[in-house]
Amino acid sequence: MAAKAVVLHAAMLAATFVGAPAVAQTNDPNLSQKQIDCLSRRTAAGADCEDGAKNGGGQSGAGNAVGGAVFLPSLIVDLFPNPPARPTPAPTQPAPPKSPTSSAAPAPPPSGPITPPTGLNLAAPPRAVSGEFVPDEVLVTVAGDAGAVQRIATTLGLQVRSQRQSRLLGTTLVRYGIPDGRPVGVVLAQLAADGRTQRREPNHIYSLQQAAGIVNYAFERIALDSKQASGENVRIAVIDTGIDDANPALKGVIAGQFDAMPNVPIKKRDHGTSVDGLIAGVGVLEGMAPGAKIYHARAFEGGKSSMDVILSALDWAAEQDVRIINMSFVGPKNDLLGTACRNARALGMVLVAAAGNNGPKAPYGYPAAFDGVIAVTATDAKDGLMPQANRGAYVFISAPGVEMVAPSGTGSDVVTGTSFAAAIVSGAIANLIHAAPDRSADEIEKALAATAKDLGPKGRDNDFGYGLLDIKAAAAAKE
């Protein structure tokens, strides 16, 4: 019954977030129809406007609210898929593998009617925005104080919805609202022409990686003795859904909690509870690293979150002085997330992420595909690859993640997905740190790559990465 419930829930979520495609729009009365078409049809590939007009152009990645949209008050508005402007051609060669190595209160909007700016010289063509994103928001890092933030808003006809100093980005992060329906790609281009802005990104939407879901076989498969397993006092951050902290498997495990979306009611606690339990659960459903201290950031509801919320959770995690950050979610490439991950790694944190459950032909999943992040795919009890797992040169290592028993918001459940394989790896790494606290993130990554059990084609491959995690061999690699 539990497995059927998981399948039903997944189907309901999928139905919820299906939306009709929408076309770009602009309210600027000074733009001709041809200019509007140009703004909508340029792509990141660098096609010029004339060619785009002759060939019919592509569909803009921006969109409007459509029927069936889901509303998460004060945070995520009108979530729906936004198709890329044009299909991205597959690279002629595979990408090189990675080397083993509380928001402030929103400022009030400008008084009086908001007039979209005119006569701006665009420094770059509108971004070909891909992946799901909040359709009326952008994220911007700004050099300057609150006054500069508001002046940018006034100049470009935007609203300051939140702003805060980000530790991992090292600057002020502002969430601007677009009140007049301009496409996100157009606003990003207009912001690029303003020298007061540093980085400009869509507020991308990310999804937890749980597939439809028999005693936990992970200990045996990764060569970890369950009687000797320990992550005692190792601090681990988990960014996920809310959790059932009354679940017996999490008794004494949660050292701290942070709610990055306090205005959104918690409805589901299953995914986060399962991830925490697989990492450091106690009792009957013992995790990989009993004794570890989990710092849990709630950043997802209904399986979804936004870039702004995730960055807030990452900043909180960095402030807890954790050694490991588990990110069992996937979304589009976003430069702000990449910068945060790079800086977290520079601070000595080991970053572990789900490779994704979107199938062999899916695009790369982020944050897993960022350099310095350990991308984990899922295998079953016989070391076979989970069929719906993402593939690619970014996949770093394999770990059990198919049909495992884990604690959940309703007691326990059978779970499947790269989310849970990532949790197994995070717990295993906690064992390495417990045994040798001075081991650096680079040393741990190299040890995992050098000692993994080769699966599939000889050597590293796009399906299994370096192979199946072998924690016993990795622990010995330092000796």
Which listed residue (103, 312, 419, 426) is catalytic? 419
Same domain, 239 and 178: no
pLDDT digits (tens, 9 = 90+) for 184-218: 999 999 999 999 999 999 999 998 877 654 347 89
Query: Are 329 and 419 contained in the same domain?
Result: yes
Please confirm, yes or no, whether 9 is among the known catalytic residues.
no
pLDDT digits (tens, 9 = 90+) for 396-425: 999 999 999 999 987 888 899 999 999 999
Residues 62 and 193 both lie in one domain:
yes
Name the catalytic one among 28, 78, 136, 240: 240
Q: What is the pTM of this model?
A: 0.67
Alpha-carbon distances, residue 154 vs 83, 147, 149, 157, 176 (angstroms): 30, 11, 9, 5, 11
- What's the pLDDT score for residue 68? 34
Domain-ending residue, one of 181, 205, 229 = 205
Average pLDDT, the chain: 80
* Statement to judge: residues 32 and 150 lie in one domain: yes
Residue 7 confidence (pLDDT) above 50: no
Instruction: Please identify which of the residues 60, 162, 259, 271 carries the catalytic annotation.
Output: 271
Q: Is position 419 annotated as part of the catalytic site?
A: yes
- Domain assignment present for residue 327? The answer is yes
How many domains does one find in the chain?
A: 2
Sequence-ordered list of residues with C-beta below 8 angstroms from that of 392, at least 6 positions apart, any chain: 94, 95, 355, 364, 369, 462
Same-domain check for residues 201 and 321:
no
Same domain, 309 and 387: yes
Mark whether 434 is an active-site residue: no
DSSP per residue over 97-148, as a string?
Answer: PPP----PPPPPPPSS------SPPPSSPPP---S-EEEEEEEEEESS-HHH
Give the end of a domain, one of 184, 205, 226. Answer: 205
The model's pLDDT over 111-160, given as tens digits with 9 standing for 90+, comes to 444 444 444 444 444 556 678 899 999 999 998 889 999 999 999 999 99
pLDDT digits (tens, 9 = 90+) for 339-364: 999 999 999 999 999 999 999 999 99
